[in-house]
Amino acid sequence: MPQIIVRGIKPEDMCKVSQDMIDRLVEKVKCPRDYFEIECVNSVKVTNGVLEQPYPFVEVAWFDRGQEVQDDVARIITDSIREGLGVRDMDLAFTLFEKNRYYENGEHF
């Protein structure tokens, strides 16, 4: 936790920027490095019967850390991908977990 779910960007490309990006996120979020998980989801876009590369989209699933931290995290991830991989445009969204609805090994937080 936090979980960073990436679509529309190749896993090998994410590897190129992941270390520096996580370094910056650890400093901002103040949680251990091993709490961060990057998952690259293999997906394709289908438009009028044609397979296309999907638009880059990142979802961050986590417990709320306030608007300021969320804004900074969004900038860190966006800048890492855009500058490090030459991605021109991308979207990013946050999914907030509620502690009483998040379970680890059958126990909620």
Q: 24 CB contacts (<8 Å, ≥6 apart)?
A: 76, 80
Residue ranges per domain, the chain?
3-108
Average pLDDT for the chain: 95
Query: What's the CATH number of domain 3-108, 3.30.1370.60, 3.20.20.140, 3.30.429.10, 3.40.50.300?
Result: 3.30.429.10
Render pLDDT for 23-48 as a digit per residue (tens, 0 to 9).
Answer: 999 999 999 999 999 999 999 999 99
Give the residue-averaged pLDDT of 90-101: 95
Quote the pLDDT of residue 41: 95
Quote the pLDDT of residue 1: 77
Q: Report the b/e string of 81-93 with b at 16+ CB within 10 A.
A: beeeeebeebebe
Sheet holding 91-97, edge to edge: 37-41, 3-7, 57-63, 91-97
Quote the pLDDT of residue 63: 94
Element (H, E) at 59: strand 57-63
Is 0.75 surpassed by the pTM of this model? Answer: yes
Quote the pLDDT of residue 18: 97
Residue 108 has pLDDT above 90, yes or no: no
Residue 109 has pLDDT above 90, yes or no: no
Residue 13 has pLDDT above 90, yes or no: yes
Residue 43 sits at φ, ψ, to 5 deg, of -140, 160
Quote the pLDDT of residue 8: 96
| Nearest alpha-carbon partner for 92 in 63, 56, 68 | 56
